[in-house]
């Protein structure tokens, strides 16, 4: 089985690399549920920036639950763009200095559940490093992986072809498409 999570901030190019890695490897990709759909489902403010603590936590928990349900439908292999880590990192960065002990313990409990799920579910976790010291999400994800002792491979995201080759080598996958061709295909789809 090859159940892969690719983590990283939006600045790291994580989603583009996940799409390209899916094209190269032939493994299906799972993306996050857009906030707008989650907002409609849970009656949250349509503007994610206006969400206060309770709605932000609800979004995070709902997105985690949605991703788990989707991942469980894949019997053997998938690439999870962001994995279950993206929303908890967003929540922690959105409220970096939560004082009430109740809210802090809610985040810690959710982190433990997410870490336990990731340790049991993902065969490989690649973290795409943004190489940006001011990137709070990247820092939060790296810190989470270290503290929860989640086995992961750090990939430098500055050179996409090299990053893709590193992931292929690490997993010992023979690519279905060349790295260069998959990048051209993804770039054309994304208009870049």
**For 19-31, what is each residue's pLDDT tens digit?**
889 988 889 999 9
> Listing from the earlier edge strand, what are the strands of the sheet with 29-30?
29-30, 78-81, 3-7, 124-129, 153-156
Give the pLDDT confidence score for residue 190 in this predicted structure: 55
Q: Give the tokens for residue 87.
A: 């929303």
Q: Tell which wins on pLDDT, 173 or 82.
A: 82
Domains of the chain: 3-190 (3.40.50.300)
Say how far apart CA 116 and CA 119 lie, in whole Å. Answer: 5
Largest CA distance in the chain: 51
Q: Specify the pTM.
A: 0.86
The pLDDT of 48-59, averaged and rounded, is 90
Say how far apart CA 95 and CA 98 lie, in whole Å. Answer: 6
Give the pLDDT confidence score for residue 4 in this predicted structure: 95
Share of the chain above pLDDT 90, in %: 46
Nearest alpha-carbon partner for 74 in 44, 114, 31: 31
Give the model confidence (pLDDT) of 156-179 as tens digits.
988 888 998 899 899 888 877 677
Give the pLDDT confidence score for residue 161 in this predicted structure: 86
């Amino acid at each position: 089985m090859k159940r892969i999570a690719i983590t990283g901030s939006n600045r790291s190019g994580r989603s583009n690399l996940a799409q390209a890695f899916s094209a190269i490897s032939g493994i299906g990709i799972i993306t996050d549920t857009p906030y707008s759909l989650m907002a409609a489902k849970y009656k949250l403010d349509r503007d994610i920036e206006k969400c206060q603590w309770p709605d932000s936590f609800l979004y995070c928990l709902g997105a985690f639950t949605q991703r788990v349900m989707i991942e469980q439908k894949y019997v053997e292999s998938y690439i999870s763009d962001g994995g279950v880590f993206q929303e908890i990192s967003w929540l922690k960065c959105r409220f970096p200095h939560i004082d009430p002990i109740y809210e802090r313990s809610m985040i810690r409990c959710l982190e433990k559940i997410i870490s336990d799920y990731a340790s049991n579910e993902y065969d490989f976790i690649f973290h795409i490093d943004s190489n940006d010291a001011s990137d709070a999400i990247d820092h939060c994800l790296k810190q989470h992986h270290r503290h929860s002792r989640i086995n992961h491979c750090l990939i430098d995201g500055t050179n996409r072809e090299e990053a893709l080759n590193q992931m292929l080598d690490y997993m010992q996958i023979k690519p279905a498409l060349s790295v260069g061709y998959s990048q051209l295909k993804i770039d054309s789809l994304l208009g870049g």
